[in-house]
């Protein structure tokens, strides 16, 4: 009877978190839809090429402050510890949503140092088989180094920049419906494509594709891949 009750509670929690996953995904898509038009708000054809500073770079030589939103899919596999029979638990996906702030400080050439903070929320996996990987949320500090280069002519009306950053993170999370806090480090690779309309002066927008692996003591494997939008402001 106790086992049936535990399974029923697991299914209820799974359904709650699946609803949360759908709502989280919808909110992320709506926010992305709202942010994307900002990059094209001004018609690039109206930019006077003569007014563009040929020596200008899209934020590579001054500190850049970025604010982003990311949606991702994480895969958890094989819990570790007493009471978890080997081979019983299979990989399952979890929806991830994140808000981030990052300061990029220029180094030599086109390299930069990134210091940031990220708020993260992870929904529970689906309840197939009568069990789930639990939901959790929290925040983390991130340190990275990045490299980027321009794909456009200096006088082009729309500046396109391609790059990537690689780094590490330290994260502190709380498991949902419990008082269990846990810590885990991670490493990540984040390619990006940045679009800068010179008429918008010190503002640009970037599409990022974060790939992350975290060193969780409670899982054999935990990694994620996603897509996000970052609004970047070049500081004076």
pLDDT at 118: 97
pLDDT tens readout for residues 62-80: 899 999 999 999 999 988 7
pLDDT tens readout for residues 190-229: 999 999 987 777 889 999 999 999 999 888 899 999 999 9
H or E element, residue 15? helix 2-39
Q: How far apart are CA 18 and CA 23, in angstroms?
A: 9
β-strands 111-122, 219-234 pairing: unpaired
pTM (predicted TM-score): 0.72
Q: How far apart are CA 130 and CA 141, in angstroms?
A: 34
pLDDT band for position 129 (cuts 50, 70, 90): confident
pLDDT exceeds 70 at position 136: yes
pLDDT exceeds 50 at position 174: yes
pLDDT band for position 175 (cuts 50, 70, 90): very high
Highest mean pLDDT among 17-26, 51-60, 91-100: 91-100
SS3 label, residue 179: coil
pLDDT at 36: 44
Burial 17-26 (b: 16+ CB within 10 A, else e): bbebbeebee
Q: How far apart are CA 114 and CA 167, in angstroms?
A: 9
pLDDT at 198: 76
SS3 label, residue 127: coil
Number of Cβ atoms within 10 Å of the Cβ of 236: 6
Number of Cβ atoms within 10 Å of the Cβ of 168: 15
Q: Which domains does the chain have, with CATH numbers?
A: 2-42+60-234 (2.40.160.20)
pLDDT at 79: 81
């Amino acid at each position: 009877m106790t086992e049936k009750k535990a399974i029923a509670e697991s299914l209820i929690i799974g359904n709650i978190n699946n609803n949360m996953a759908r709502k989280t995904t919808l909110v992320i898509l709506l926010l992305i839809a709202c942010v994307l038009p900002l990059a094209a708000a001004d018609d690039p054809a109206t930019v006077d090429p003569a007014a563009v500073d040929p020596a200008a770079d899209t934020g590579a030589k001054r500190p850049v402050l970025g604010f982003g939103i990311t949606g991702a899919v994480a895969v958890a596999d094989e819990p570790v510890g007493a009471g978890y029979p080997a081979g019983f638990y299979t990989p399952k996906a979890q929806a991830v949503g994140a808000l981030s702030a990052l300061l990029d400080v220029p180094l030599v050439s086109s390299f930069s140092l990134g210091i940031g903070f990220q708020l993260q929320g992870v929904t529970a996996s689906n309840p197939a088989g009568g069990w789930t990987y639990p939901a959790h949320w929290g925040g983390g500090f991130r340190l990275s180094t990045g490299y980027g280069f321009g794909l456009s002519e200096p006088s082009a009306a729309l500046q396109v920049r391609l790059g990537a950053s690689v780094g590490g993170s330290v994260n502190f999370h709380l498991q949902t419906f419990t008082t269990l806090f846990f810590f885990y480090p991670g490493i990540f690779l984040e390619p990006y494509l940045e679009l800068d309309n010179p008429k918008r002066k010190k503002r640009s927008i970037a599409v990022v594709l974060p790939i992350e692996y975290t060193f969780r003591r409670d899982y054999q494997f935990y990694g994620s891949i996603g897509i996000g939008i970052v609004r970047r402001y070049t500081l004076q």
